[in-house]
Structure 1
Amino acid sequence: MGSNESALRYWSRHRAFYIMLIPGVLYFLLFKFVPLIGSVIAFQDYDIFQGFLHSRWVGLQWFHEFLTFPQFRRLLVNTVLISFYQLLFAFPAPIIIALLLNELRHAVFKRTIQTIVYVPHFLSWVIVGGLAYMLLSPRIGLINQLISGLGYDPIIFLQNPDYTRSIITISGIWKEMGWNAIVFLAALASISPSLYEAAKMDGAGRWRQFLHITLPGLLPVIMLLLLLKIGHLLDLGFEQIYVFLNPMTYSVGDVIDTYTVRQGITRGEFSFTTAIGLFKSVIGFLLLLVANRTSRATTGEGLF
């Protein structure tokens, strides 16, 4: 009885916090967990008129078709390579921006720079694609005008497969690095200033302060976001890739997400594309388990 009364008092004392949790819990239930029921159509020959309760079961047929699909290797290689480029170049970018912003002492100048690097996040990928065209177009692009001014022939960046992956990666860095830096700025703000003061009294320079105070303070957040990024290795998103995709760059830019949208929406192959999504989820979960265990063994940090 005493424990029940204690629990009731605890709930009553913190009821405001639990009420604040209700919208978030409902969001995840309605838009994350309930839709998981639809994953069953990956094992059916789904008919929209019969629904998943009455559609014919086909087992692993769609998984087999995807894995033996002639273009599967190309889709997988493109997806993994672009994800690797983003992991190698795009992931460190917000960390560097956060460290640089953290060193600024003039408040007005710091807020101005923060606003400038945050703004691209609020632009749609359609606008980003238009900006890229204005910069890279062989006819009106600013960069090609500079190249022509130097006496060289214009370069067809957007139709040349050699530049596609670089353009996708660079555009992603430009659009999201400022916004993603917010998390690292918050982590930097949580580091106690007394640690830096003690280090200065001991004669530590800026570099040693970074190595022994700043970096260890950022490491838990870095590892958390890195593990989440690895778990989404096969999830590149449709919009970013699609705006830079054209028939001349399909060989290097067509990824699993763009192929899934084409098959699912334009051809109505719902079971096939659901199987692809489930395949991506399983691979992402396995990668997350391996990366988390490796992180635990090497750095002591992990998601679980």
Structure 2
Amino acid sequence: MISIIDASKKFNSKRFKQNVPLLIMFVPVIAFFLVVKYLPMFGLVIAFKDYNFADGIFHSPWAGFKNFQMLFNNPETLGIVRNTLVLGILSVVVGFPFPIMIAILLNEARKLIFKRFVQTLVYLPHFFSWVIVGGMVITLFSQESGAINHWITKWTGNPYPFLYSETSWIAIFLGSGIWKEAGFSAIIYLAALTSVDPSLYEAAGLDGANKWRQIWHITLPGISTTIVLMMILSIGHVIEVGFDQVYVLQNNVVSNVSEVISTYIFRVGLQNAQFSLTAAMGLFESVVAFIMVMTANQIARRFNQGLW
């Protein structure tokens, strides 16, 4: 018995030495998460303090839950949380299927040149900043000088306020987000599709299944684990609507639907220097996102598809 334990220890020691180069390569990743992700969490303490620059984070007086009471007694807060949830849920519901569809269509393409050309076109927008994308959107949809309104004015005589109507603004918000990120997100599904056994398609073809049947009964079940994983991660971002996209597209006319938690934190926290109040809002946002991810994972576990 002792000899078996000693052999196991020697094996583990040998394996550890073999993996030392990999562990060293992993050190920068650990350092990144510690410095950028975990260390700033100590700053959340200002949500429970009357923070000021003179006293700093640790010496500012304690305020308890006063900032949270101020936050949730503010009638503006309910509208901000509602806008964040609406835009976040719509982004997931409307945008989630597009990367899957792009990946399946690219996987079915047989002409290599055509496939590479389309891949480049759909991947490219991801590398544009939202400042550039926002400028392109305004160039297209501006009421005064937009390219689309130029033709609408010729046909109807009156331009349409795309960026100043709440319904059309939400549609543009969703469409620009899908156009920018769907192609790059499809890479994950393309990688998952490589694990699907090609012989299954051959067998289905011999049984008379057309392409749509093969996609429905082979392709989608084959990448179902990846789809569930990505869905859980997407749900975690429902309440974390990106600041950049909203900020470059919003205006005062549509503030009733475009003011979200991230823009509120920028406007009140950075511009008005109410750091404790917006830290409380940020903590609330993180707690809600955590609860949503845990809930989504619990639901997925019922179908044996959970992350943990």
Query: What is the TM-score of this pair, normalised by structure 1?
Result: 0.95
Counterpart for residue 211 of structure 1: 216
Q: How does 1:7-156 map to 2 (within 5 A)?
A: 7-156=12-161
1:167 correspondence with 2:185 = no
Query: Any stretches of 5+ residues in structure 1 without a counterpart?
Result: none
Distance across 2 between alignment mates of 1:151 and 1:61: 55
User: What is the Cα deviation at residue 2 of structure 1?
Assistant: 4.2
Percent identical: 43
Opposite residue 132 of structure 2, the aligned amino acid is I
Helix, strand or coil: the match of 1:40?
A: helix
Query: Any stretches of 5+ residues in structure 2 without a counterpart?
Result: 1-5
1:5 correspondence with 2:10 = yes
Query: Residue 302 of structure 1 is aligned with which of 276, 301, 306?
Result: 306
Stretch of structure 1 that moved more, 195-204 or 129-138: 195-204
Query: What is the TM-score of this pair, normalised by structure 2?
Result: 0.94
User: What is the Cα deviation at residue 55 of structure 1?
Assistant: 1.2
User: What is the Cα deviation at residue 200 of structure 1?
Assistant: 2.4
Distance across 2 between alignment mates of 1:72 and 1:198: 57
Helix, strand or coil: the match of 1:71?
A: helix
Distance across 1 between alignment mates of 2:217 and 2:171: 34
Counterpart for residue 262 of structure 1: 267
Counterpart for residue 290 of structure 1: 295
Helix, strand or coil: the match of 1:56?
A: coil
User: What is the Cα deviation at residue 164 of structure 1?
Assistant: 1.6
Distance across 2 between alignment mates of 1:287 and 1:161: 27
Structure 1 stretches of 4+ with a deviation exceeding 3 A read 1-4
User: What is the Cα deviation at residue 60 of structure 1?
Assistant: 1.2
Distance across 1 between alignment mates of 2:66 and 2:52: 16
- Count of residues paired in the alignment: 303
Opposite residue 200 of structure 1, the aligned amino acid is G
Opposite residue 123 of structure 1, the aligned amino acid is F
Helix, strand or coil: the match of 1:248?
A: helix
User: What is the Cα deviation at residue 161 of structure 1?
Assistant: 2.4
Flag the structure with higher helix content: 2
Please list the CA deviations of residues 131-166 of structure 1 after superposition, one character each: whole Å capped at 9, or x if unmatched.
111111223212112212323411111122232211
Distance across 2 between alignment mates of 1:44 and 1:3: 53
Query: Residue 163 of structure 2 is aligned with which of 152, 158, 169?
Result: 158
Counterpart for residue 3 of structure 2: none
Helix, strand or coil: the match of 2:224?
A: helix
Counterpart for residue 186 of structure 1: 191
